[in-house]
Amino acid sequence: MKKIKEFDSTLFQEELQKRISIPVGEFEKFFELWEFKHFKRNEFILKAGEIPKFSIFVLKGCLRQYIVNEKGEESIVYFAEERHWIGDLPCMRSKTISNFNFQAIEECELLTINADNWEQAFAKFPWWTEAHLTGYQKWASMLQQQMADLHTKTGEIRYLNLLKAKPALFQRVPQHFIASYLGISPETLSRIRKKIFNI
């Protein structure tokens, strides 16, 4: 993990402006709260059992958030590609141990914000709070929808839906990660693909 000072902050600013309009001159001050970090493929960014030190915006690369249960089985709950936000805010803010692992699937360039700076951003920039709140509201709704899909749709349907929704993901992450995210075994996903594409 190495730090670099110079890089292009346009992507970051653009992504924020998509959600909210930032008063002139405020982005620079806001941006100072963030730190650039670089991770290698397979490197752990945050580990379960530790207090998350920062929260993340993905500039480049792809990472996975997953949980390991008592039996040692992994379950991926989120993929963060470019322009995505990821982290365990409740645990970072309350300084408690997270249950989630965050690992780089590819080489990653990240912007990170630590707990103190997060609280500062929250206190100083109302537009940030607003964007954040709106984002979380939408996300929670999406997660509920996803839960209902797990209840009522077969693995095959969920696979086809994900393929439609995030085709690029399938080009960059191993198939067994997709299986884990869909909540099916790698073998089952292999058979689903055979059934769909072979005949």
Rounded Cα distance between 121 and 65, Å, is 24
Rounded least distance, CB 63 to a copy of itself, Å:
15
* Nearest approach, Cβ of residue 63 and DNA (Å): 14
Residue 16 vs 184, nearer CB to DNA: 184
Residues in 136-165 that interact with DNA by CB under 7 A:
154-156
Contact letters for DNA, residues 16-45 (x by CB under 7 A): -------------------------xx---
* Of 170, 159, 189, 177, nearest in space to 42 by CA: 177
CB of 165 to a copy of itself, least distance (A): 16
In the complex, the smallest distance separating the C-beta of residue 186 from DNA, rounded to whole angstroms, is 5
- Identify whether the C-beta of residue 121 lies closer than 8 Å to the C-beta of residue 32: no
Q: Does 129 bind a copy of itself (CB under 8 A)?
A: yes
* DSSP letter string, 108-142: EEEEEEEHHHHHHHHHH-HHHHHHHHHHHHHHHHH
CB of 197 to DNA, least distance (A): 9
Chain centroid to CA 48: 15
Residue ranges in the chain assigned as alpha helix (H): 10-19, 26-31, 89-94, 115-124, 126-152, 155-165, 169-172, 175-182, 186-198
C-beta closer to a copy of itself: residue 12 or 181: 181
Q: Whole-angstrom Cα distance, residue 1 to residue 37?
A: 7
75 binding partner (options DNA, a copy of itself, none; Cβ < 5 to 8 Å by kind): a copy of itself
Is residue 79 a contact partner of residue 64, using CB atoms and an 8 Å limit?
A: yes
Candidates 158, 29, 46, 166; CA nearest to 108 is: 46
**Identity of the residue, 112 or 180, whose beta carbon is nearer to a copy of itself in the bound complex:** 180
Partner from DNA, a copy of itself, none binding residue 100, C-beta < 5-8 Å depending on class: a copy of itself
Residues at the interface with a copy of itself (CB under 8 A): 65-67, 69, 71, 73, 75, 77-78, 88-91, 93, 99-100, 122, 129-130, 132-134, 136-141, 143-148, 150-153, 180, 183
Residues at the interface with DNA (CB under 7 A): 41-42, 154-156, 174-176, 183-194
